[in-house]
Structure 1
Amino acid sequence: MAASGAQEQLESNPGHYQSLLATEHDTKLKDTIQTDINRTFPNNVLFQSKAEPGLQRALYNVLLAYGHHNKAVGYCQGMNFIVGYLIIITKDEEKSFWLMDALLGRILPDYYSPAMLGLKTDQEVLEELVKTKAPAVGQLMAQYPGIWTLVVSRWFICLYIDILPIETVLRIWDCLFYEGSKVLFRVALTLITHHQPEILRARCLSDVCECFKQITCGAFTLDCHTFMQKIFTEPGSLSMATIEKLREKCRQQILEESRQP
């Protein structure tokens, strides 16, 4: 709460969360959120509809309040898993709401807007970083246009939830709130560089996709302490300035391509 700036926002806006829940709710927003509630962590006893006290109501409230708070985003698939995790950790709706606000408003700009420009940009930034840090993998991936969206969009949109083991994800999130979005690239680059030999054995598109599924499992990602040490050593230097420069370049390319007839 302190590292992300969420605590400061909570204290500066007393009653804001409750006032959002008290407003007239948009029917479409309510229905869209409700559809995803039962799909959120269906195997977690806390999120089952008969759970006592269940977390489904808290999840619904936070998503609904956020949809009113940030009308440009509203609700987007993937947000339910993030809020679900935040509620498990904080056990508090209002804290989860302000942490969500920190993530979407400052740490992950444009990941969840309708055009998902931030997400598309960061996928291309990762592609550029791989060309530099693991050129052989970069060459292999270049044979398959659109491959990065297939293999890493869920890594970024779900912030590694249901991709990596929960203990590891929680440590990644600590770094994400404290250091910002470059941590997401450090994790992706570590997974890719560490498993370079397996990736390079891929002979077709389905081999690549299967390999990217496999590299997130197993002992390497399960040993969260060692894994966290690796993400700060294996990819080498990676400054926010480098990422911002690449983001600007990739964003411009995406916007130019979208304007072409």
Structure 2
Amino acid sequence: MGVSGAQAQMDRNPGYYRHLLQGERDDSLEEAIRTDMNRTFPDNVRFRKGSEPCLQRTLYNVLLAYGHHNRGVGYCQGMNFIAGYLILVTKSEEESFWLLDALVGRILPDYYSPSMLGLKTDQEVLGELVRTKLPAVAALMDSHGLLWTLVVSRWFICLFVDVLPMETVLRIWDCLFNEGSKIIFRVALTLIKQHQALILEATSVPDICEKFKEITRGSFVTECHTFMQKIFSEPGSLSRAGIARLRERCRARLLAQG
């Protein structure tokens, strides 16, 4: 809470969260959130209807409040998994709201906006980083005309929730709140580099997609301490200035494409 700035925001705005929940009804927002309730951690008993307490109501409240707070975003698929994870970790509805705001509003701007321009930009940035650091993988993707969004979109939009083991995700999120979004590139590049030989065995688009699912499973990602050491050594140098330049170039390209 402290490192993310969420605690300071909550302290500066007492009663604000409850005020948001009592705001004017927005039928389209409420329906969009309701649609995803049963899709959020369906295997977790605490998110099932009939459980006591049922975290679906808590999740609904957090997402509804955020939709009122940030009308430019409202609600976007993927936010349900992030908010749900925050609820499981903090066990606090209001703290989860402010942490969600830190992620969506400050750390990952435009990831969850209607255009998802920030998300699309960072997927393109990953592609450029792979082209530089892992050219054989980039060549494989190019040879099949495969867009990066088809194989890594869930990594980015769900911030590795339901992709990597929970303990590993929590360690990644600690870094995300501390160091910002650059950590997402470190994780993605490490997964790809560590399994480059496996990926290069693929001979078709479905095969490539399956390989990218395979690389998120197994002992490499479950051995959390070793994995976290790897993400700071395997990708090599990733300067903030370099990432900023790549983002600027990729964003301009996406905007030009319309």
Question: Do the two structures share a fold, i.e. TM-score over 0.5?
Answer: yes
Equivalent residues of 2:17, 2:94 under 8 A apart: yes
Tell me by how many angstroms 1:215 deviates: 0.4
State the TM-score, normalizing by the size of structure 1: 0.97
* Alignment-derived partner of residue 62 in structure 2: 62
Give the partner amino acid of 1:165. Answer: P
What per-residue deviation string (whole Å, max 9, x for no partner) do you get for residues 200-254 of structure 1?
1111111111100100000100101100000000001111111111000000000
| Higher alpha-carbon deviation: 136-145 or 164-173 | 136-145
* Alignment-derived partner of residue 239 in structure 1: 239
Q: Secondary structure at the match of 2:247?
A: helix
Tell me by how many angstroms 1:138 deviates: 1.1
CA distance in 1, matches of 2:202, 2:164: 22
1:83 aligns with 2:98: no
CA distance in 2, matches of 1:56, 1:102: 22
CA distance in 2, matches of 1:156, 1:38: 22
Structure 1: gaps (5+ residues): none
Runs of 4+ aligned residues of structure 1 deviating over 3 Å after TM superposition are none
* Alignment-derived partner of residue 151 in structure 1: 151
CA distance in 2, matches of 1:242, 1:167: 30
CA distance in 1, matches of 2:246, 2:11: 35
Task: Say what the alpha-carbon RMSD is for the aligned residues.
Answer: 0.8
The within-5 A match list for 1:1-261 is 1-258=1-258
Equivalent residues of 2:17, 2:65 under 8 A apart: yes
Identical-residue share of aligned pairs (%): 67
Equivalent residues of 2:121, 2:247 under 8 A apart: yes
Q: Secondary structure at the match of 2:148?
A: helix
CA distance in 1, matches of 2:231, 2:240: 15
CA distance in 2, matches of 1:146, 1:66: 34
Give the partner amino acid of 2:120. Answer: K
Tell me by how many angstroms 1:14 deviates: 1.1
Tell me by how many angstroms 1:145 deviates: 2.9
Q: Secondary structure at the match of 1:83?
A: helix
What per-residue deviation string (whole Å, max 9, x for no partner) do you get for residues 144-202 of structure 1?
33421110011000000111111111110110011000000000000001111111111
CA distance in 2, matches of 1:172, 1:147: 25
Structure 2: gaps (5+ residues): none
CA distance in 2, matches of 1:170, 1:82: 11
CA distance in 1, matches of 2:144, 2:159: 24
CA distance in 2, matches of 1:169, 1:221: 10
Equivalent residues of 2:146, 2:205 under 8 A apart: no
State the TM-score, normalizing by the size of structure 2: 0.98
